[in-house]
Structure 1
Amino acid sequence: MPKNYLVSRHPAAIDWISQQMPVDQVITHLDINLIEVDDAVIGTLPIHVAAQVCERQAKYVHLSLDIPSQWRGKELDTVEFKQCAPRLEEFSISREKTDNESR
């Protein structure tokens, strides 16, 4: 049965996402080997990690926020978090091979 993994260490994000969709497990670091076909990984991952999720035929659901510059690097409380227009957006990401890579 597919699982929904939420990757975050931010309480306001965890609370908000958990209200938007079912979450089976909250983790602070993604072990890509946990991910199986049709699982969903929710969070704000580096692009190369999100591509690995998609390569495993799982869904990548990105937490998008419009954060004012003065709040960057600051832990947002629930009120501030909601002021950043949070939304969950599913992306399908693939890595392009370069000429230098073996095929």
Structure 2
Amino acid sequence: MSIYLVSRHQGAVDWMRHMGHHYDEHLTHLANYEALSAGDVVVGSLPINIVADLADHGVTYWHLSLYIPEQLRGVELSAEQLSKLDAKLEEYVVLRGNSNAL
């Protein structure tokens, strides 16, 4: 089992280290799933369709969750700012539904 941190944000990398969260490899982008195996863990802030793909591959997903005020959207946040915004890791399980329903 490997733990991958997927983030292009240095503040997220610094926050993970500051909070004592372990990961084996940092990726700035998850280009494909070839390196991932069932039982691996991905940590990040990924789009829901990618999280569903990960679940299909038996990969666990932990989301870096926080509520960002409008004035900070699009701003590179530091580890300190993430902590002040009460960032936390939360496990999410996403199932792809019936795409013909709408």
**TM-score, normalised relative to structure 2:** 0.88
For residue 98 of structure 1, report the CA deviation from its aligned partner: 2.8
Aligned to 1:13: 12
Aligned to 2:25: 25
Q: Is the 8 A contact 2:12 2:78 kept in 1?
A: no
Cα deviation digits, residues 16-40 of structure 1 (max 9, x gap): 1233421100001112222111100
Please give the alpha-carbon distance, in whole angstroms, between the structure 2 residues aligned to 1:11 and 1:28: 10
For residue 99 of structure 1, report the CA deviation from its aligned partner: 3.4
Q: What is the root-mean-square deviation of aligned Cα atoms in Å?
A: 1.5
SS state of the match for residue 6, structure 1? strand
**TM-score, normalised relative to structure 1:** 0.88
Aligned to 2:85: 84
SS state of the match for residue 16, structure 2? helix
The structure with higher relative contact order (CA 8 Å, sep 6+) is 2
For residue 78 of structure 1, report the CA deviation from its aligned partner: 2.5
What amino acid is the match of 1:96?
A: G
Structure 2: which 5+ residue stretches go unaligned? none
Q: Once the two structures are aligned, what percentage of the paired residues are identical?
A: 36
Please give the alpha-carbon distance, in whole angstroms, between the structure 1 residues aligned to 2:5 and 2:55: 15
For residue 65 of structure 1, report the CA deviation from its aligned partner: 0.9
Cα deviation digits, residues 10-64 of structure 1 (max 9, x gap): 1111121233421100001112222111100000000000111111111000000
Count of aligned positions: 99
What amino acid is the match of 2:93?
A: S
Please give the alpha-carbon distance, in whole angstroms, between the structure 2 residues aligned to 1:87 and 1:79: 13
